[in-house]
Amino acid sequence: MKKNSLLLFVMVALFASCSQGPKWQELFNGKDLQGWEKLNGTAEYMIEDNTIVGISQLNTPNTFLATTENYDDFILEFEFKVDDGLNSGVQFRSNSLADYKDGRVHGYQFEIDPSDRSWTGGIYDEARRGWLYPMNYNPEGMKAFKHGEWNSARIEAIGNSLRTWVNGVPCADLLDDTTPSGFIALQVHSIGNNAALEGKRVAWRNIRILTEELDKYRMPENPEVTQINQIANTISEREAAEGWKLLWDGKTTEGWRGAKLDGFPDKGWSIEDGILKVHKSDGGESTNGGDIVTTRPYKNFMLKVDFKITEGANSGIKYFVDTSLNKGEGSAIGCEYQILDDKRHPDAKMGVNGNRTLGSLYDLIPAPADKPFRNGFFNTAMVVVEGNHVEHWLNGVKLLEYERNNEEWNRLVQTSKYKDWPNFGNAEEGLILLQDHGDEVWFQNIKIKEL
């Protein structure tokens, strides 16, 4: 009997330990703000019915209620409700450092957005790079938020994988390695001097975090949700399965040559810490190292290039390039995704209706003035080519699209600087080019998917 009793006790203990489930920690005790501190702004936080309520205030910067403890890998769950008109968010892996913008809170943010834009659940990089995962990447996720009601949220930050859910609907799937650890914070967004938004409320409750056995409790991968990989010069497992390949390996010049050379330029370009740099020279077209092009042509594709411009810089990404067309001075000929400092370079005010500004189809079709440019940080340009249909994107937002090989296209070309080049832009395939325009510009994370 004693042996049987001992065996029964052990079995009961094992069953109890296995059935305990995840070991959640409550971040809010429902009574006071122990374990939290207010940062940056002066908006008010109060407690009502086991709920933290943030109240907007005139003429204060963004205000954050932050945990006093930092977290690295975790699963965070909470409920939130927000008044229409008030933007908000929940920071995670965020920091407030004296040597960064005088302590300004910065880092990843789970977006709370009751506007018509409907980007709740997207991931924003507060006070740093801006949008990393705007919700136009995931139209189904845009439908998850419920106005005027309590919504449930889940954030999984495990290693370099950052994923979000709203009301059980998957929203963002981001790979990023910028910040591995930081606090969690509840944001009351600045309303400036907009009196109509004064006193708007955002509320949070049932805030809990899991830091143990994360692989056991993480949600399964959902291949229908677009994954964005922000880790430089890498191809994720998902990207590889989808057909993406690195167009530049981040280390060598393999796959590239000078546009007017058999090999890679011996000056004007350098590779340093996974960044491909074109050097500052005299501001002229191809007067230093010259443009570089791929060693093979491409036909139908999605091309992504991360670029960072220095002050006043000019450059470009060209496609459908035929290096035999221009043997003389200047850049090789092809359709160009313009890279430009719109505020400081005079080219932005030239051309027609802004068709030489950042993201434009250079000298042909203007990009909108309101675009998600990250000043001082890397930006992701994307060019999509499917037959005669072409699109330009910037940081996940479509800037423009056009059709070529038709009368309208040919008429447009005749009004541009390309009018003297026969059949411009109508080639079935061509090389891809990074431009030397005499200014320092940085490139990385260059990848392509052939369609």
Can you spell out the DSSP letters for 90-115? EEEEEE--TTTGGG--EEEEEEE--S
Q: How far apart are CA 177 and CA 27, in angstroms?
A: 25
The pLDDT confidence band at residue 286, using thresholds 50, 70 and 90, is: confident
How many domains would you assign to the chain?
2
Residue span of the structural domain in which 321 resides: 237-450
User: Are residues 128 and 251 located together in one domain of the fold?
Assistant: no
The last residue of one of the domains, among 179, 213, 229, is 229
User: Are residues 341 and 214 located together in one domain of the fold?
Assistant: no
- Asked whether residue 44 is assigned to any structural domain, the reply reads yes
The pLDDT confidence band at residue 391, using thresholds 50, 70 and 90, is: very high
Residue 262 sits in a domain of what CATH number?
Answer: 2.60.120.560
Q: Which two tokens stand for residue 62?
A: 């963004």
User: Are residues 300 and 259 located together in one domain of the fold?
Assistant: yes
Q: How far apart are CA 361 and CA 235, in angstroms?
A: 28
The pLDDT confidence band at residue 201, using thresholds 50, 70 and 90, is: very high
What are the tens digits of pLDDT across the range 78-88?
Answer: 999 999 999 99
In the chain, pLDDT over 70 holds for what percent of residues?
Answer: 96
User: Are residues 206 and 254 located together in one domain of the fold?
Assistant: no
The pLDDT confidence band at residue 284, using thresholds 50, 70 and 90, is: confident
So what's the pLDDT on residue 326?
82
pTM comes to 0.89
Calculate Rg over the CA atoms of the chain.
26
Q: Would you say residue 275 has pLDDT above 90?
A: yes
User: Are residues 203 and 311 located together in one domain of the fold?
Assistant: no
User: Are residues 428 and 293 located together in one domain of the fold?
Assistant: yes
Do 37 and 217 meet the contact criterion of CB atoms below 8 Å apart?
Answer: no
The last residue of one of the domains, among 212, 229, 246, is 229
Q: Would you say residue 7 has pLDDT above 60?
A: no
So what's the pLDDT on residue 405?
98
User: Are residues 288 and 396 located together in one domain of the fold?
Assistant: yes
Mean pLDDT score, 107-129: 97
Nearest to 433 by CA among 295, 245, 253: 295
Q: Is 334 helix (H, G, I), strand (E, B) or coil?
A: strand
The pLDDT confidence band at residue 14, using thresholds 50, 70 and 90, is: very low
Give the bridge partners for 385, in sequence order.
Answer: 301, 390
Mean pLDDT score, 297-306: 98
In the chain, pLDDT over 90 holds for what percent of residues?
Answer: 92
User: Are residues 102 and 194 located together in one domain of the fold?
Assistant: yes
User: Are residues 78 and 191 located together in one domain of the fold?
Assistant: yes
Beta-strand runs (E) in 49-150: 51-55, 63-67, 74-82, 88-95, 106-112, 123-126, 130-133
Nearest to 42 by CA among 21, 56, 24: 56
Q: Would you say residue 11 has pLDDT above 60?
A: no
Using alpha carbons, list the distances in angstroms from residue 318 to 109, 250, 264, 338, 349: 34, 20, 17, 8, 21
Please tell me the least confidently modeled range out of 144-158, 164-178, 296-310, 327-341. Answer: 327-341
User: Are residues 222 and 241 located together in one domain of the fold?
Assistant: no
- Asked whether residue 12 is assigned to any structural domain, the reply reads no
So what's the pLDDT on residue 194?
97
The last residue of one of the domains, among 180, 198, 229, is 229
User: Are residues 283 and 318 located together in one domain of the fold?
Assistant: yes
- Asked whether residue 257 is assigned to any structural domain, the reply reads yes
